[in-house]
Amino acid sequence: MALVTTAEVCDANPQLIVSGELRALQPIFQIYGRRQVFSGPIVTLKVFEDNVLVREFLEEKGNGRVLVVDGGGSLRCAILGGNPVVQAQNNGWAGIVVNGCIRDVDEINGCDIGVRALASHPMKANKKGIGEKHVPITIGGTRICDGEWLYADTDGILISRAELSV
């Protein structure tokens, strides 16, 4: 997918868009990290103002996967910071998409990984370990399931039920 843009994927696959097999996330995300283009199979996580499970996932080997975190859209604290992003980069994650806030933006922008989030916030998250792993999540009206595929570039983010061959 490195040479094909999300716009080209949409133009080439109108039938997948009509059927709902290919969906675009609402354009609500800021772009962070050095990798502006990334893709991979999705791992889902649902948390609210708590980052324990986010850190646990990113401590695992990523194997080119993308962690998609539904943080409830909270703008009250950051659920992802520089240290876990460095760990994710070193563990082979392709990217992280956060429906919530991040912090340590300068550190994250130095990492060779794709990160999308709503905004940055200086306050840290709670550490209670509350959340749900590998569950269907909804971000901006788009349902996202564990095992689907994510394709991101500077035009936006696509979710596909299956890996796209382009």
Instruction: Confirm whether residue 114 is marked as ligand binding.
Output: no
Instruction: Confirm whether residue 81 is marked as ligand binding.
Output: yes
Instruction: Confirm whether residue 103 is marked as ligand binding.
Output: yes
Go through the chain and tell me how many residues it has: 166
Distance CA 73, CA 161 (A): 23
CB of 68 within 8 A of CB of 45? yes
Instruction: Confirm whether residue 129 is marked as ligand binding.
Output: no
Instruction: Confirm whether residue 104 is marked as ligand binding.
Output: yes
Instruction: Confirm whether residue 14 is marked as ligand binding.
Output: no
**What is the full DSSP assignment across 90-134?**
HTT--EEEEEEEE--HHHHHTSSSEEEEEEE-SSBPB-S---EES
Binding-site positions read 81-84, 103-104
Binding-site positions for Mg(2+) read 104
Binding-site positions for substrate read 81-84, 103
